Structure 1
Amino acid sequence: MPAVARISACVAIAAVAVWASGSVAWAGWKPGSGKSGSETQVHGGEHSQKISATAGAVVFDRSKNGSGESAGPVASATTWTPPACYYAPKYSPAELKAYLEPIWEAGSTGYEWEAQQRDRYVNGHPYKDFNKDKAGKGYWWDSYVTAGREGDPGALDCDKPIFWVDKGDPPPADTPQAVTPEILAELAYNEIRVPSTKVTLAPAGTTKVNLPTWAWLDGAQFKPVSVTASVPVLGISATTTAEPISLKIDPGTSDAETYPASGVCPIDGGRIGEPYAKGKANETPPCGVKYLRSSGNGSYQLRATLTWKIHWTGTGTPGGDLPEGTFGASQDVVVQEIQSVNR
């Protein structure tokens, strides 16, 4: 393996930094702890989803995100995915020294690699003594792997060895994955959670062949949700917001008709479908399904999938749109034949 690749592979599992020089402390980090850049550390409670959390230099504010056991991540409606890796600040000069020197002293990486590292970060080619003379004037940047993308081949694209960036300066031009408001927006997209799309049906649980079945969602649960991602030491942030726009009904069988015929129920005044009420038995539901054949001794798997429009705003930019996301849930529907009585 080339030296640079070995450097990157070793550093990719670097600890999450405590930014003493930047006056920002990340909880739980210790030099050489082995925590990866993708590992999330939570402030204020390990299991709450309604709090801020850090993943390396990036802080996520999930206070306006969806929550609850049934909530889940949206999947892009296209082949687009958030970046698998990115570069961001990770070490002060003292922290980089505390991280690398124990590795060198262990000798496990080999003399040649150790010599190259010392030459790069200590002997002035190009950095001297870990840039201690610049303490408080910049940061050592390194790669991070996006949460959930650890096994993605794209996570290996950020193979540049640890590099220095002075405060106020842009990162090197050969680091297109360097964190920006847009990349923060994409990372926030990865953290969005939306409510379950299990619909309410009338009749509930069991319906009849050729009987229109009304379907709707509790509109109060389906409000816009958002996540803000920021890098405090750089003073940049981005907020990604998801808004529901339509619900698609898949009856789980071709022996069915949907209302409307497309199976796509639009959001109308914040309402998704319409609750059934007494006296509407002869009306066509604005959102629903009619089964044409009994489910026999089993049931059909009706699937309801909500589409979310996603957009973002960020520091110094109005932002823009990101690919729409979808999230769905399945539920059993028993369909019985209408029993006739001979007199």
Structure 2
Amino acid sequence: MPAVISRRSRYCVAAAASLLALWSAGAAAADDPPSSSTPPPPVNDTGGSSDNQGNVSASATHSQIRLSYPKGGGGSGKKGNLGAVDPNWKPPACWYEPVFTPEGLKSFVNKTDGEGDVGIHESWYGKGLWTDHYKDGKPEDNFDDSNSKADGYKNYNVGKGGYFWRSVAPDEQDPDSWQCGRIMFWQPAGQVPKIPHAPTPKMLAEYAYNKVKVPETKIELKPQAKSTVNVPTWVWLDKGTFKDVVVRAELPNTGLWAETTAKPVSLHLDPGTDDADTFPASGTCNFNKDGSIGTPYKTGDANQNPPCGISYLHATDGNPYQLKASITWKISWQGSDNDGTHSLPDGTFQTTQDMSVQEIQTINR
């Protein structure tokens, strides 16, 4: 039987042995760890096409998670992703999800002659690799820290129902994506595997967090674009300018879902210079009960301190100050675990605009 280069032996065999192994009908290729200087082989991406079993045969960078926007997902204008206030927070780097029925996997192998991803960092090229493990029962190594063995399957488990699950990573360059090292495995229908990095409602909520789109922070100013030294600039937002955003994430064939809600709670002003006073002193203006912020400027308010605003102490010298305005959004979620409402780190979205400040000259007689 021809030799087949495995992902494990790729790290230790000599170059000549590697070339000899490539004479076989197929080759299992794995990316080197991120610290390695050896470039990875090309990854076959089937592009998300569906086979006749209705199964998606995309690469391991494509998730089956379905997103919808029950609230706040429409509208026009520029939008952007939230940045978490907690610098240590990040969305999930990898997880496992169902991608094939047994019949679908058999069809995929026959149609592609066995070219595709069996995990995030491992692709199998050659039909023999797939049939050895998933049709003829040959064990294979899992690409994880414990170097565990994966038992083989007979005839792709056709007739047993259930799904074959595979690891997924939105960014395969993320070092944490190497934590999901099992090769594709079968799981009975209606069961979520009890393994590290199996999907959960919380994981879906965190995935949805990263998909929240909020409008840019356009604030009303009086005076607009140009302020005067020691004359307060009033800042406000009309009610209804910012509304709750809800993102729902569902993972098909698992019964798992989560809804992540972003609620605007405050506006923070950074004048762009230390030579300025903010109102209030913290620079943070909370939303009013009606969803507005601050109070609109009225004639006669010029010499009063606004509930939300800025007073510049020095004029600009031709280069405007960079006024930064950021909305803080409180993030919560609930999901298919029916365990109530949970919190995630607050998120922010910031915009910057030019602010020129003039100094009124007076003449003493």
The TM-score bracket by the shorter chain reads 0.7 to 0.9
Change (3 A) 1:12 1:140: farther
Aligned 1:50-199 pairs, distance under 5 A: 56-67=63-74, 68-78=76-86, 79-101=88-110, 117-125=130-138, 126-134=152-160, 137-146=161-170, 149-171=171-193, 173-174=194-195, 176-199=196-219
Aligned to 1:271: 292
| Cα separation, 2, equivalents of 1:220 and 1:271 | 7
- Whole-angstrom distance in 2 between the partners of 1:274 and 1:299: 25
C-alpha distance in structure 1 between counterparts of 2:215 and 2:315, whole Å: 30
1:115-137 Cα distance to aligned partner (Å, 9 max, x none): 55433211124211111122xx2
Unaligned runs of 5+ in 1: 40-55
Distance 1:252 1:110 in 2: 50
- Work out whether residues 192 and 199 of structure 2, in 8 Å CA contact, stay in contact via their aligned partners in 1: no
How many Å apart are 1:19 and its aligned residue? Answer: 8.3
1:92 Cα deviation (Å)?
Answer: 1.8
CA contact (8 A) 2:315 2:359 kept: yes
Paired amino acid for 2:226: T
Q: Which amino acid aligns with 1:129?
A: N
Q: Which amino acid aligns with 2:191?
A: D
Which residue of 337, 349, 353 corresponds with 1:327?
349
- 1:150 & 1:201 partners in 2: Cα distance? 44
- Assess, with a 3 A threshold, how the Cα gap between structure 1 residues 159 and 11 changes in structure 2: closer, same or farther: farther
Q: Secondary structure at the match of 1:271?
A: coil
1:16–1:37 CA contact under 8 A, matched in 2 = no
Between the aligned residues of both structures, percent identity stands at 40
- Specify whether residues 316 and 216 from structure 1 end up closer, same or farther in structure 2 by C-alpha distance, changes over 3 A only: same
Give the partner amino acid of 1:142: R
User: Which is helix-richer, 1 or 2?
Assistant: 1
Q: Which residue identity does 2:303 align to in structure 1?
A: N
Residue equivalent to 2:229: 209
Residue 183 (structure 1) shift = 1.0
Structure 1 residues 111, 311: CA separation in 2 closer, same or farther (over 3 Å shift)? closer
User: Displacement, 1:189?
Assistant: 0.5
Specify the alignment match of 2:308 in structure 1.
Answer: 287
Range that drifts further, 155-164 or 242-251: 155-164
Q: 1:14-72 CA deviation, whole Å, 9 max, x = no partner?
A: 65474876xxx58xx5x5xxx44545xxxxxxxxxxxxxxxx32110024244534211
| TM-score, scaled to structure 2 | 0.76
Map 1:222-241 to 2 at 5 A. 222-241=242-261
Range with greater deviation from structure 2 (232-241 or 8-17): 8-17
Which amino acid in structure 2 is aligned with residue 340 of structure 1?
A: T
Tell me the alpha carbon deviations over residues 154-181 of structure 1, each in whole angstroms, 9 at most, x when there is no partner. 233222111111112231x33x222221
User: Which secondary structure does the structure 2 equivalent of 1:330 belong to?
Assistant: strand
SS at match of 2:349: strand
Note the residue ranges of structure 2 that are not aligned, 5 or more in a row: 1-6, 12-27, 32-41, 117-121, 139-151
Secondary structure class of the residue paired with 1:161: coil
- Structure 2 CA distance for aligned equivalents of residues 96 and 153 of structure 1: 28
Alpha-carbon contact 2:114-2:125 (below 8 Å) kept: no
The offset of 1:2, in angstroms, is: 1.8
How many matched pairs?
311
Against the structure 1 CA distance between its residues 237 and 124, is the aligned structure 2 distance closer, same or farther, given a 3 Å change threshold?
same
Please say if residues 194 and 225 of structure 1, whose CA atoms lie closer than 8 Å, have aligned partners that are also in contact. Answer: yes
Show the 5 A alignment for 1:26-65: 31=57, 35-39=58-62, 56-65=63-72
Larger Rg: 2
Q: Distance in 2 between matches of 1:204 and 1:106?
A: 60
Q: What amino acid maps onto 2:275 in structure 1? A: D
Counterpart residue identity of residue 240, structure 2: A
